[in-house]
Amino acid sequence: MMKSPYPEARKYVFEWGFFMQCPRSDGTLKEVTVDGVTVDICESCGGVWFDAQELAKFDEAHEESGQELLALMAQYHSDGLDHAGLLKSPKDPSVTLVRRYYSPKEEIEIDECPITGSIWLDAGELAKIHDLFPSQEDRKRAYRDFAVRFKRSADIEKMKREGGRGKTERVMGLFEWIFGR
């Protein structure tokens, strides 16, 4: 598990009376514990801050903890908020979150801290993840499909021409190792 460069952040939030600011709205984040995992939810917009690796405990449709968190998130609405701008980390506002796709299907954008690996999900994004990937096997299938599409794409042909066979074979070997044949 990745070690946070901010190990004392939660301690200081309560000892000194500071609260983490929601990266999307003007609200503050409230700690909630769901199935033994503490996440931070914004009661203004329904977004959730997951520390590194926490999202994995909620991201499949069959997980009860995910359903419980979805119910909490559904209580709040993010209507009228700007979703186009880049966000700042609620733990360190000097850090800009990186917007990226959740998966190779490129349907759901999430915001990730480049330092800690923590993730911000806006209201509704966890439900979209559940719809897109009901199980771990569905997620693996999507990545395998991506690897096959990549293998057949013009990008791999370009790599063969420009980078030589060795580089191409290493990339394809990596895909096969990660996703299986």
What are the structure tokens assigned to 121, written together? 């999900």
Q: What's the rounded Cα separation, in Å, for the pair 35 and 37?
A: 6
Mean pLDDT over 144-154 rounds to 71
Q: In this predicted model, what pLDDT tens digit does every residue of 96-133 receive, in sequence order?
A: 999 998 877 778 899 999 999 999 999 889 999 888 87
What pLDDT is stored for residue 2 in this prediction?
40
CA angle 32, 122, 51 (to 5 degrees): 50
Q: In this predicted model, what pLDDT tens digit does every residue of 166-176 receive, in sequence order?
A: 666 666 666 66
Q: Please count the other Cβ atoms lying within 10 Å of the Cβ belonging to residue 83.
A: 11
Q: In this predicted model, what pLDDT tens digit does every residue of 6-26 receive, in sequence order?
A: 444 444 444 445 679 999 997
Burial class (CB in 10 A: 0-12, 13-18, 19+), 38: exposed
Q: In this predicted model, what pLDDT tens digit does every residue of 47-102 receive, in sequence order?
A: 999 999 999 888 887 788 888 898 888 887 767 777 788 999 999 989 999 999 88
Phi, psi angles (nearest 5°) of residue 54: -70, -35
pLDDT band at 136 (very low <50, low <70, confident <90, very high): confident
What pLDDT is stored for residue 112 in this prediction?
95
Q: What's the rounded Cα separation, in Å, for the pair 24 and 46?
A: 10
What pLDDT is stored for residue 139 in this prediction?
73
Whether the Cβ atoms of residue 47 and residue 120 lie closer than 8 Å to each other: yes
CA angle 142, 144, 150 (to 5 degrees): 105
pTM: 0.70
Mean pLDDT over 19-42 rounds to 91
Contacts of 141 (CB under 8 A, 6+ apart): none
Q: What's the rounded Cα separation, in Å, for the pair 85 and 177?
A: 37
From the list 76, 102, 99, 75, the residue with the least C-alpha distance to 88 is 99
pLDDT band at 4 (very low <50, low <70, confident <90, very high): very low
What pLDDT is stored for residue 152 in this prediction?
67
What pLDDT is stored for residue 31 in this prediction?
94
